Amino acid sequence: MAEKTGGRLESLVIDAKGPGNEDLSIDIGWFGAENPRRALLVSSGIHGVECFAGSAIQLQLLDNIPQLSSNCALVLVHALNPFGMAWLRRFNENNVDLNRNFLGDENYAGAPEAYAKVDPFLNPRSGPSSDFFLLKATWLVLRYGYTTLKQGVAGGQYEYPRGLFFGGKHLEQGPEKYQSFVGQRLSSVERIVVVDIHTGLGRSGEDTLLVEPEQYAQLRAIFGARVAPAVEGGPAYRVSGAMGRLFTRVLPKAGTWFLAQEFGTYPPLKILHALREENRWHHYGAGTLDHPAKRRLKEVFGPDDERWRRAVLERGGALVKQALEFLGSSPSESWKDNKS
């Protein structure tokens, strides 16, 4: 499909299979300049099952590739976690949350104190069951506080390999291949905007743009009030090993602007419950797709709701347009290319 619209397609095949024993790959559509000075990269599905919204935005773009200036490339990266998308999981073939996996030189070890405390509740060593999740979760929130718990649980951990939000023990195969791709193919860029699409955080049908705290003021001035810093106590939390770090590491000379576009779906505890039950089914059940735990997980990250889907396409399309305008502009006093 990318080729039909004048682009080039590249696939990074990973060593894992889908439910029909099919090969799995990260597919990358490249449009515009071969050695660009400026690039907009739109990626989807680092969290597997969250990929459906991102895919839809990417397909919408393929239907109508924007005009690009001669030094600019548009790069569409589909399904950074193809295993998770195929198997309806947030995590990859090794149960790794890939958006906690980019630690660079840091040690892949440790877990927040709060995570250790709630591990038996969060990750029961048994298949899915009705076990008063909401009641117990509410009690834990009252006991430890919502912000502490949210940060401790979802920010990433490196000690419970079958648990939720496990960041791995080393850089996983998909991220490693993607990192080489970015380092080689985008080495000419001077400015790059990355839009990484997620679902499951915020109010239903609305989007939040999560950014590094250092870039918050500048990005808010450009992209408006839906920009929020990814910090403890914010609408999300601080994430260890987040993917944005890959770009500053492998493209040290470029000004990198990273936005995680998060579309809200359902309330956080409903999502956590769905993640917990699917994880139990994966590790302590048959793990097949024909289980309510899989259907629920798909629903909480990609609601079967026309209005929601229309909002995603509209806001996704609008952000791409804004990002291209920003890319084409020249540096002003209100912002400077950040070369950290």
Cα–Cα distance for residue pair 29/181, rounded to 1 Å: 12
Distance of CA 173 to the CA centre of its chain: 16
Cβ-contact 286, 225 below 8 angstroms: no
Q: How far is the CB of 97 from Zn ion (least distance, A)?
A: 9
Q: Cβ of 169: how many Cβ atoms within 10 Å?
A: 15
Q: Is 177 exposed, middle or buried (0-12, 13-18, 19+ CB in 10 A)?
A: middle
Output the DSSP codes for 188-214: T-SEEEEEEEEEEEEEET-EEEEE-GG
Query: For Zn ion, which residue has the nearest CB?
Result: 198
Residue 221, by phi and psi: left (phi above 0), alpha (psi -120 to 50) or beta?
alpha
* CA distances from residue 163 to 96, 130, 158, 160, 267 in whole angstroms, order as listed: 9, 19, 9, 5, 21
First-residue to last-residue Cα distance in the chain: 36
**Of 47 and 226, which CB lies nearer to Zn ion in the complex structure?**
47
Of the pair 47, 298, the CB lying nearest Zn ion is at: 47
Closer CB to Zn ion, 191 or 198, in the complex: 198
Question: Smallest distance, Å, CB 200 to Zn ion?
Answer: 6
Question: Which residue, 47 or 276, is less far from Zn ion as judged by CB?
Answer: 47
Of 192 and 260, CB closest to Zn ion:
260
Neighbours of 59 (CB within 10 A): 13
Which strands form 23-32's sheet, in the order they lie side by side? 8-17, 23-32, 72-78, 38-44, 191-204, 255-264, 207-211, 227-229
Q: Which two tokens stand for residue 183?
A: 């380092």
Distance of closest approach, residue 47 Cβ to Zn ion, in angstroms: 4
Residue 165 beta carbon to Zn ion: minimum distance, rounded to whole angstroms: 11
Q: Are 219 and 338 in contact (CB under 8 A)?
A: no
Q: Which residue's structure tokens are 């929130």?
A: 141
Q: Interface residues with Zn ion (CB under 5 A)? A: 47, 50, 198
Question: Closest approach of Cβ 324 to Zn ion, in Å?
Answer: 23
Minimum CB separation of residue 228 from Zn ion in Å reads 15
| Least spacing, CB of residue 210 vs Zn ion, in Å | 10
Give the integer Cα–Cα distance in Å for 335 and 340.
Answer: 14
Which of 33/261 has CB closer to Zn ion? 261
CA dist., res. 75 & res. 242, Å (int): 20
Six-digit token string for 319: 């952000």
Q: Which is nearer to Zn ion, 50 or 277 (CB)?
A: 50
Q: Could you tell me the smallest distance in angstroms from the CB atom of residue 118 to Zn ion? A: 20
Q: Min. distance of Cβ 244 from Zn ion in angstroms?
A: 13
